[in-house]
Structure 1
Amino acid sequence: MTAVLFDFSGTLFRIESTESWLRAALDGAGLKLAPLELTRTAEALRRAGALPGGAPPLRVPEELAEVWEVRDESSTLHRAAYTGLSRQVPLPHGLHDALYERHMSPSAWSPYADAAEVLSALRGRGIAVGVVSNIGWDLRPVFRAHGLDRYVDTYVLSYEHGIRKPDPRLFGLACAALGVEPGRTLMVGDDRRADGGAAALGCGVHFVDHLPVTERPAGLWPVLDLIP
Structure 2
Amino acid sequence: MADQDSSAVLEPEPISAVLFDFHNTLVHGGDATTWLATGWTAAGRPDTPPDGLGAEPAAAAAAFLDRVWEHAHEIDPDSSRDESPQQHRRVFLATVVRCPGIDADLAEALYTVMPMRWEAYAETVPVLTALRERGVRTAIVSNIGFDLRPIIERSNIVVDAVVLSYEVHSVKPAAGIFQHALDLLGASAQETLMVGDSWRDDSGAAALGIRTLLLPRTDGPHHGLAGVLRLVSG
TM-score (norm 1): 0.85
In structure 1, what is the equivalent of residue 176 of structure 2? 169
Question: Which of 107, 112, 120 is the aligned partner of 1:111?
Answer: 120
Question: Which of 122, 130, 150 is the aligned partner of 1:121?
Answer: 130
> Which stretches in structure 2 are left out of the alignment for 5+ residues?
1-14
The structural deviation recorded for 1:111 is: 1.0
Where 1:147 maps in the other structure, the secondary structure is coil
The structural deviation recorded for 1:82 is: 0.7
CA-based RMSD of the aligned residues comes to 2.3
Question: Which of 14, 21, 34 is the aligned partner of 2:28?
Answer: 14
> Which stretches in structure 1 are left out of the alignment for 5+ residues?
none
The structural deviation recorded for 1:56 is: 1.6
The structural deviation recorded for 1:20 is: 1.1
Distance 1:12 1:209 in 2: 12
Where 1:186 maps in the other structure, the secondary structure is strand
Which letter maps to 1:134? N
The structural deviation recorded for 1:19 is: 1.4
- Give deviations 1:179-207, integer Å, cap 9, x for gaps: 11111110000111211100111111111
- Percent sequence identity is 35
Where 2:109 maps in the other structure, the secondary structure is helix
Which letter maps to 1:126? G
Question: Which of 80, 102, 109 is the aligned partner of 1:70?
Answer: 80
Match runs of 1:1-228 below 5 Å: 1-32=15-46, 33=48, 35=50, 37=53, 39=55, 40-44=57-61, 46-47=63-64, 50=65, 54=68, 56-57=70-71, 60=74, 65=75, 69-88=79-98, 89-91=100-102, 94-105=105-116, 108-148=117-157, 151-214=158-221, 217=222, 219-228=224-233
Distance 1:58 1:144 in 2: 27
The structural deviation recorded for 1:213 is: 2.4
Distance 2:103 2:28 in 1: 27
Where 1:227 maps in the other structure, the secondary structure is helix
- Give deviations 1:132-167, integer Å, cap 9, x for gaps: 01111111111111111xx21111111112211110
Asked whether the equivalents of residues 104 and 137 of structure 1 are also in contact (C-alpha less than 8 Å), the reply is no
The structural deviation recorded for 1:96 is: 1.4
> Which has more radius of gyration?
2
Number of residues paired by the alignment? 215
Distance 2:62 2:78 in 1: 16
Residues 72/46 of structure 1: CA separation in 2 closer, same or farther (3 Å cut): farther
TM-score (norm 2): 0.83
Residues 82/46 of structure 1: CA separation in 2 closer, same or farther (3 Å cut): farther
Distance 2:101 2:78 in 1: 20
Distance 1:132 1:41 in 2: 34
Asked whether the equivalents of residues 163 and 181 of structure 2 are also in contact (C-alpha less than 8 Å), the reply is yes
Which letter maps to 1:209? P
Which letter maps to 1:226? L
